[in-house]
Amino acid sequence: MNPLYFQAKFINSSPDLKSTPPDLGLEIAFAGRSNAGKSSAINTLTRQTGLARTSKTPGRTQALNFFEIDANQRFVDLPGYGYAKVPLPVKKKWHQLMETYLTKRKSLCGMILVMDIRHPLTEFDWQMIEWCQHAALPLHIILTKSDKLNFGAAKNTLLQIEKTLSELETPLTLQLFSALKKSGIDEIHAALNRLFLARS
């Protein structure tokens, strides 16, 4: 466990790249389909209940939200994507914002892809995995809401996804995670440490 992550603080919400913090240091982006539990995961791993805004309305995160860990490290909460009730122009705007950020942000050193264990490897998830592969960006996948399945079923899902992704060239790791049960925190801290250290 890395207590440094418990000091995370919100610093900026950027609707476009012009208003982002300076492109210096190292950033790890959190991506995930709307309602996959991304904000809850960020709050759980930082031990802060209100750091990332959670909502019962999927698609609430509509900007790039930056959280400072220390002077050289940040988390970035990317807009949730794929929620059907969000108007098409908004979806296109989010997609363009994410694509521009992922393509041009020099401080980006890794990605955490958040997937609901009951609905893994959606079209959006594959887009993000393929993008990481194309950019040679290290990827760590967390399967959230693992408490919704019994341990055996959750472990089987993990192994199936691991097998499906085993032939990809992208360096990736994956784990089970539950914000409700506070399980998987040590693993995600270790993954974050690896991602930051790989570029430091």
SS3 40: helix
Is the model more confident about 127 or about 159? 159
Percent of the chain with pLDDT over 90: 68
CA 112, CA 46: separation in Å to the nearest integer? 14
Walk me through the domains of the chain, giving residue ranges and CATH numbers.
Answer: 3-199 (3.40.50.300)
- Report residue 123 as tokens: 């079209």
For 166, residues 6+ apart whose C-beta sits below 8 A from its C-beta are none
Q: Cα(166)–Cα(129) distance, rounded to whole angstroms? A: 12
Encode pLDDT of 11-55 as tens digits. 999 988 889 999 999 999 999 988 899 999 999 999 999 898 765
Contact 98, 79 (CB under 8 A): yes
> Taking 80 as the threshold, does the pLDDT of residue 200 lie above it?
no
53 within 8 A of 46, measured Cβ to Cβ: no
Spatial distance between the Cα atoms of 40 and 42, rounded to a whole number of angstroms: 5
At 86 the pLDDT is 66
Range 77-98 average pLDDT: 74
pLDDT of residue 198: 87
